[in-house]
Amino acid sequence: ITICSICLGTRLAPKEKLDIPVLFMPDTMKMYEAVVVIHVMRENGENWPYEDSAELKKDLKSSVTIAENGGIRGILWIYPVHGIPEAPQQQLVPVRCQARQRIERRLEVLLTGAVPGATAMPAARNSTMVNTNKLANIQEEVQVTDGFSTTLEFLYELQYQSDEIKSHLGAFVGIHLIQRERDTESGIITLIFNIVFAPNKPMRNEATLVVQCTTGGVWKFPMLFIATQPEVDDVINIEAVGLNKESIVTFKLTSQTR
């Protein structure tokens, strides 16, 4: 994180705004921290009077600089800055299922970029693919929990564009991290998720799988969940008993909810 320095003697009028440019160019997928400190003094060099210097040193010692005579020489504003690198958006992953059916799918995501413990920067490529086959040579298997889960170095969560989409889709989608592996040469980490999609009606909604390293890096994998029309329950045949006469057929419907 680079913070452009402001020259000593910069004048700031009352209620005037001061813009401080901050440049962030991370070279690895971890959080960086910095602090912006603004030191303001009177233009004429005089101090701000403050009677109780003992109380001043106790309560305000981190936000002011005190002169020898006990007055306030300068005022400090301290702004912590956290730089969190985010990988480029990945290709959309479609998940398709017929309404009132259920599918399970393996989703393999590659965490590109310089991740913690990596020894090399991998070449840029498509980092998301759906793999329904069982993967071999897994180096490590991890335990996971439900929801926003912690698995050694990573957190993951399925995020939705709005609360309305979450209410339509959230109850029908489950995602769990089941395996993790690291390439010892390139340092690329592969996470393997199991996705369950069981829609009860046709829909087409998007969500984003967000993976965050506990050291600060973020990867986002957009997903599209598609539920097609369900199968026909039955065919009802009505035979006419004659012209201008009603024919009636009775059938039962059972509600699955209250």
Q: Is residue 257 part of a domain?
A: no
Distance CA 120, CA 112 (A): 11
Q: How many domains does the chain have?
A: 2
Same domain flag for 49 and 159? no
Residue 171: CATH number of its domain: 2.60.40.2310
User: Which of 30, 10, 198 has the alpha carbon at shortest distance from 98?
Assistant: 198
Same domain? 64 vs 33: yes
C-alpha torsion angle, residues 158, 162, 163, 166 (rounded to 10)? -40
Report the alpha-carbon angle 202-203-205, nearest 5.
Answer: 165
Instruction: Tell me the residue range of the domain where 92 lies.
Output: 86-115+152-230
Same domain, 53 and 166: no
Q: Cβ(182)–Cβ(194) under 8 Å? A: no
Q: How far apart are the first and last CA of the chain?
A: 56
Whether residues 79 and 90 share a domain: the answer is no
CA distance 191 to 151: 10
Inter-CA distances, 4 with 1, 22, 32, Å: 10, 6, 16
4-62 pLDDT, tens per residue?
Answer: 555 556 788 888 888 888 889 888 888 889 888 888 888 888 888 776 656 655 555 56
Same domain as 179, residue 71 = no
Cα dihedral 105, 111, 117, 119, rounded to 10, equals 120
> Is residue 37 assigned to a domain?
yes
3-state DSSP assignment of residue 88: coil
Same domain membership, residue 97 and residue 19: no
Same-domain status, 110 and 193: yes
CB neighbour list of residue 255: distance below 8 Å, 6 or more residues apart: none
Task: Please check whether residues 97 and 205 belong to one and the same domain.
Answer: yes
Q: Residues 6 or more apart from 86 whose CB is under 8 A from it?
A: 217, 218, 219, 220
Residue 177 lies in a domain: yes
Tell me how far apart the alpha carbons of residues 58 and 216 are, in angstroms, rounded to a whole number.
Answer: 35
List the chain residues with pLDDT less than 70.
1-9, 51-62, 70, 114-152
Nearest to 108 by CA among 132, 138, 139: 132
Check the CA dihedral 94-216-34-119 and report its sign: negative
Lookup: tokens for 118: 């990596």
